[in-house]
Amino acid sequence: FLKENPLDRVRFPSPPKPREKRLKPGELQKLLQSANQSGSSYMPSLIILAVETGMRIGELLKIEWSDWDKQRAILHLRNTKNGRDRYIPLTPNANQIISDITQTSDRILPTNYEAVKSAWQRLRKRTGILDLRLHDLRHEATSRFFEMGLTLPEVASITGHQTATMLLRY
């Protein structure tokens, strides 16, 4: 009964530009200094591990002591977001950070996402770095991997990105 399809004139909005936030010089030190002075004992370790490994916050909160091979400096992530296991090579700094954590539970960082989220919001306010999201630490790590000279396949195997398109923005 209609002469034309009314949906032919519907235009979808353009997708938003991907976020490209990087840490500015001195911001990591400022975050760590403030995190060390806070009541959140795991925040400094979580920040360093996020920047050193490129792991998602949920992945960091899931890792268990049994997933860590200290001698080989590797973390084994099980059942990640894309359903696959992956192995994260650890820098000497990241391996040392894990070594320095006192084992109080099966998980290396025995806290939950809500506690981390709250601690992060307080940390952002204290440091005045209001435009930084937790997930930006993963972006920072991924960019640093490329700056180290790692190849696209190497970075993808560490970060778990499934397509080159997702990685090309770094």
**Catalytic one among 22, 24, 70, 135?**
135
By three-state DSSP, how is residue 114 classified? helix
Whether 139 is catalytic is no
Whether 81 is a known active-site residue: answer: yes
Which of 9, 56, 113, 117 is the catalytic position?
A: 56
161 in catalytic set: yes
DSSP code at position 107: B
Q: Is 22 a catalytic residue?
A: no
Catalytic position from the list 78, 81, 125, 133 = 81
Phi/psi of residue 150, each to 5°?
-70, 150
Annotated catalytic residue, options 138, 139, 144, 169: 138
Strand partners, 75: 68, 88
Answer yes or no: are the C-beta atoms of 142 and 54 closer than 8 Å: yes
Annotation says 135 is catalytic:
yes
Closest CA to 121 of 105, 113, 133, 110: 133
| Catalytic-residue membership of 138 | yes
Closest of 143, 138, 129 to residue 30, by C-alpha: 129
Residues tagged active-site: 56, 81, 135, 138, 161, 170
